[in-house]
Structure 1
């Protein structure tokens, strides 16, 4: 983590069932100045507990998990007391699925195969823009 002393690092929790993809995400996102990867999970129950325990600011979630789905996790996050920015990063990128993620509580949605760099750029922007962590932001891929 390379966080500036004047601003606390953006705490990112990764939820992805495929270990090599999760490792790539952790390496890429963790290299962003001002971002700290605070936890990882491959299923929704462990993710919820970890998100709460680490006080994550951002959750990056895939749809397919080893137990449960990303959609279930999004619903659970909207029911919890924690205010976390939910970013869906998945291969399921149909218009219907994007809308379903919005309804479930996602703030951002990216196709894992074609928009990974855009997801990284969005997380970097959230880490560095004043007020972005307060869920008052917009973006081209904002759902």
Structure 2
């Protein structure tokens, strides 16, 4: 974790089935001030249990997961209380995938290949907003 004592830590959960990519995500996101990686999973069921157990604020999910897709997880998280912010970070970035993920409840959608830095910037912005105004979601970004 990389935060000062007065900062509220942004708890991030990673849902990605490719271990080297998940490690890269964890390294990059953990380097953001005020961000803590609270869990990781390769499939929706394990992810949902971990997200509920850790008080996660932000979930970063790939479209393709072990045994299924991230759509089931997005649908479940869209109804979760307290709400979590969902960021899709995937190689499946065609218009169809983007629309399906946004319709399932994702607030952010990024192409893993070309927009990884944008995803990092979104998490940085969410962490900053959490510490300046409290964690509030103001609408879909980067659709």
Asked if structure 2 preserves the Cα contact closer than 8 Å seen for 1:126 and 1:132, the reply is no
Unaligned runs of 5+ in 2: none
Partners of 2:101 and 2:25 in 1: CA distance = 20
SS in 1 for 2:17: coil
The equivalent residue for 1:54 is 54
Asked if structure 2 preserves the Cα contact closer than 8 Å seen for 1:61 and 1:88, the reply is yes
Q: Comparing 40-49 with 130-139, which one deviates more in the overlay?
A: 130-139
Asked if structure 2 preserves the Cα contact closer than 8 Å seen for 1:85 and 1:133, the reply is no
Deviations 1:14-44 (A, max 9, x none): 0000000000000110111110000000000
Number of matched pairs: 141
Deviations 1:44-80 (A, max 9, x none): 0000000000000000000111123101110111233
The equivalent residue for 1:9 is 9
Asked if structure 1 preserves the Cα contact closer than 8 Å seen for 2:2 and 2:35, the reply is yes
Partners of 2:42 and 2:98 in 1: CA distance = 21
Asked if structure 2 preserves the Cα contact closer than 8 Å seen for 1:15 and 1:40, the reply is yes
Partners of 2:140 and 2:65 in 1: CA distance = 28
CA 1:136–1:70: 2 relative to 1, 3 Å: same
Unaligned runs of 5+ in 1: none
| TM-score (structure 2 length as normaliser) | 0.93
The equivalent residue for 1:75 is 75
CA 1:79–1:124: 2 relative to 1, 3 Å: same
The equivalent residue for 1:135 is 137
Asked if structure 1 preserves the Cα contact closer than 8 Å seen for 2:108 and 2:140, the reply is no
Partners of 2:100 and 2:140 in 1: CA distance = 19
Partners of 1:86 and 1:9 in 2: CA distance = 17
| TM-score (structure 1 length as normaliser) | 0.93
Shift of 1:132: 6.6
